[in-house]
Amino acid sequence: MSRKGVLIYAETMGSEIHPIAFELIGKARELAEKLDLEVWSTILGYGITDKAAELIYHGADKVYVYDDERLRDLHVIAHKSALVELAKEIKPEIFLLGATPWGRSLAPRIAAALDTGLTADCIDLQVDENGELVQIRPAFTGNILAHIKTSSRPIMATIRYRVMKMPQRDPSRKGEIIIRKFNDVNCDGIKCLGKVSERKVSLADAEVVVAGGRGLKKKEDLRLLEELANLLGGVVGASRPLVEEGWISKDHQVGFSGNVVKPKLYIACGISGSPQHLAGMRDSGIIIAVNSDPSAPIFRHADYGVVADLYDFIPKLINFLQKLKH
Amino acid sequence: MRSGLGIIVLLKQVPDIEKVRFDVETGRIDRSSAPAETNPFDLHALEAGLQIKEKFGGSVTVISMGPRQAESSLKDALARGADRAILLTDPRLAGADTIATAKALAAAIRKLGEFDLILCGEKTVDGDTGQVGPEVAELLGIPHAAYVCEIRKITHEWIKVVSDMGDKYLYELKLPALLTVTRELNSPRLPTLKDLLRAKRSQVEVWTADDLSEYIPLDQLGFQGSKTRVVKVVIPSTEHRKGIILGGDEAVEKIGRVILSEVLGK
């Protein structure tokens, strides 16, 4: 009898595998051991066949490859059709995708087509004492964590980027690569006319984020934060008001309607800490908050709170760090 | 040939997330702690619909599923310029997960008949899933684009939009189609006092599960039709944060040393 499995979708960026795919495999491997399942991966795109081995090196037992020119673009109907067909045939117990914008656009269509439950943006997956999968996700703009179980199969979930551990790469690992044919479907409803612009910074990947909020008096003062960020090898983030004022691009926005970040160090400068901002940074490693208002909510979510005028404190901090660095 | 476009906007009423409080013991939301409002993302979807109507003619129909009090969000939408408002409300629709919600909305849209464009916010501030829009599109068998931050051009046959997926992509969708929109798309208008008074007198149509039964088996809707169940809710603790408060010049040295040791490894 054939084994059952956890299927993960390996998202690609051009011809590269998005790192979320390896994180998904790491988690799938852990679940597979507990639930006696195999780890299956699928990768779709054009000119990506030679990448399939990487998924095996990171822990997949089988990789289903769809390499077709019609899958080159992020075409939601083409990708959905292939994945629905695959899921119907191999019947995974669990099907995981990354909670990237693309994953969150694609997964609901697959779930609706398979008529199964889908849990969005999970930050953990656990197996309970009954051997059932518990999906844990933030809701109410990150104010609560919901534990969710699914009664239908496959259990589908999207998983937030950078919350699962990256597994070790082992190039001696063996697995099976299965080349699949992309069956023609009517894809006329959508045409991808190409990339309009590329993201300039990736806040989600940053190890250090120095973020500014309404405590900044003018746009030019962002340079102060930039100076500190550069010194620490980090990037500048911003709360929503600064982005809405047009001081800085949306790429830099931290929060529920911007980027969710998880750097080693988050320095919040002149940010009061609205729920929508906290939802974007509460899982950071160390949180330092600088605010002149001692009752600012951000202090309740910080490891270190500095009650000070950022215009006084940040230059002094830069000065101190520069001296010690040399 | 039809002259205008049939536009449908999906709205949800949510608690004001900046004010809402939770019971730490039970994890339950204290609904009395915050006023209800229209999901902020959905107001951008409504604004987009109204702008398209102003240019093309046609009509904007708003649909919401929720308790009876969600009527106030629909009246607000009428005040802003929507032509017709439908509230799906019924205990048999309550407790729905995203798939059961999408099925109810898709059934309501089928019942309405012909349409060209469905608009909704990229996600809601309470559920945070962003799944209902694409699920509705799949159930109706129409294309969708998510995270739409710009509408470039629209004709009676197609719409060109920019989708913000980190990198931004230009898509052309054949109508009918569904878009989920971001806050960057536009600035929602505010209703005038006159509009509000007019809307107060206007009618919100109320549909129950029975009104949908021709389009979907009722056991597919509400709690009964849901495939996912919330088994537990916890409030994330902030206790793991050290919560050390500093001030004055000693803060500079202390923070400087924290950064050096823990981040730069020195």
Is residue B252 included in any domain, yes or no? no
pLDDT at position B242: 83
CA distance A286 to B96: 38
Structure tokens at B42: 């959905």
CA distance A286 to A263: 8
- Asked if residues A210 and A236 have their Cβ atoms less than 8 Å apart, the reply is yes
pTM check: above 0.90: yes
User: What backbone phi and psi angles, to 5 degrees, belong to B52?
Assistant: -65, -40
Query: Would the pLDDT of A163 be above 80?
Result: yes
Taking an 8 Å cut-off on Cβ atoms, the answer to whether A305 and B238 are in contact is no
Query: Would the pLDDT of A37 be above 70?
Result: yes
Is residue B266 included in any domain, yes or no? no
pLDDT at position B1: 45
Q: Give the best residue of A11, A72, A73, A109 to mutate against chain B (max B CB count within 10 A).
A: A109
All structural domains of chain A: 5-180 (3.40.50.620), 203-325 (3.40.50.1220)
Residue with tokens 């780890």: A39
Residues constituting chain B: 266
pLDDT at position B239: 65
Is residue B258 included in any domain, yes or no? no
Residues of B in contact with A149 (CB under 8 A): 228-229, 231
CA distance A105 to A273: 29
Taking an 8 Å cut-off on Cβ atoms, the answer to whether B139 and A112 are in contact is yes
pLDDT at position B31: 75
Q: How many CB atoms lie within 10 A of CB B3?
A: 8
User: What backbone phi and psi angles, to 5 degrees, belong to B44?
Assistant: -70, -35
Taking an 8 Å cut-off on Cβ atoms, the answer to whether A141 and B245 are in contact is no
Q: Which residue of A has its CA nearest to B171?
A: A192
CA distance A139 to A311: 35
C-alpha to C-alpha distances, B68 to B28, B93, B205, B206, B218, nearest whole angstrom:
21, 12, 11, 9, 20
Is residue B264 included in any domain, yes or no? no
CA distance from start to end of chain A: 65
Q: Which residue of B has its CA nearest to A252?
A: B166
User: What is the domain count for chain B?
Assistant: 1
Is residue B257 included in any domain, yes or no? no
pLDDT at position A166: 94
Which residue segment(s) compose the domain that B19 sits in? 5-225
Instruction: Count interface pairs A-B at CB distance under 8 A.
Output: 261
Query: Would the pLDDT of A220 be above 60?
Result: yes
What does each of the 266 residues of chain B score in pLDDT, given as a tens digit? 457 999 999 999 999 988 888 877 776 777 788 899 999 999 999 999 999 999 999 999 999 999 999 999 999 999 999 999 999 999 999 999 999 999 999 999 999 999 999 999 999 999 889 999 999 999 999 999 999 999 999 999 999 999 999 999 999 999 999 999 999 999 999 999 999 998 888 899 999 999 999 999 999 999 999 999 999 998 877 667 888 999 878 899 999 999 988 776 76
User: What mean pLDDT comes out for the span A192-204?
Assistant: 91
Structure tokens at A28: 């799938």
Q: Which residue of A has its CA nearest to B259?
A: A265
Is residue B232 included in any domain, yes or no? no
Query: Would the pLDDT of A170 be above 60?
Result: yes
Q: Pick from A289, A290, A294, A287: which is nearest to A311 by CA?
A: A290
Q: How large is the C-alpha radius of gyration of chain A? A: 22
Taking an 8 Å cut-off on Cβ atoms, the answer to whether A190 and B145 are in contact is yes
Alpha helices by DSSP H, chain A:
20-35, 52-57, 76-90, 101-114, 222-231, 240-244, 275-281, 310-325
- How close, in Å, is residue A117 to chain B by CA atoms? 5
Q: Give the best residue of B131, B170, B174, B179 to mutate against chain A (max A CB count within 10 A).
A: B131
Closest Cβ–Cβ partner in B137, B258, B260 for A109: B137
Beta-sheet pairing, B58-65 with B5-11: parallel
Question: Using N-to-C axis directions, what is the helix angle for A101-114 and B132-140, rounded to 10°?
Answer: 50
Is residue B139 included in any domain, yes or no? yes
- Asked if residues B130 and B180 have their Cβ atoms less than 8 Å apart, the reply is yes
pLDDT at position B215: 98
- Asked if residues A167 and A58 have their Cβ atoms less than 8 Å apart, the reply is yes
Structure tokens at B186: 């536009």
Q: How many CB atoms lie within 10 A of CB B165?
A: 18
Is residue B241 included in any domain, yes or no? no
A109-160: per-residue pLDDT in tens?
A: 999 999 999 999 999 999 999 999 999 999 888 888 999 999 999 999 999 9
The CATH number assigned to the domain holding B82 equals 3.40.50.620
Name all contacts of B155-158 with Cβ < 8 Å and 24+ positions apart: B156/B1, B156/B2, B156/B5, B156/B116
Q: For chain A, what is the mean pLDDT?
A: 94
Q: Give the best residue of A140, A156, A300, A314 to mutate against chain B (max B CB count within 10 A).
A: A140
- Asked if residues B153 and B159 have their Cβ atoms less than 8 Å apart, the reply is yes
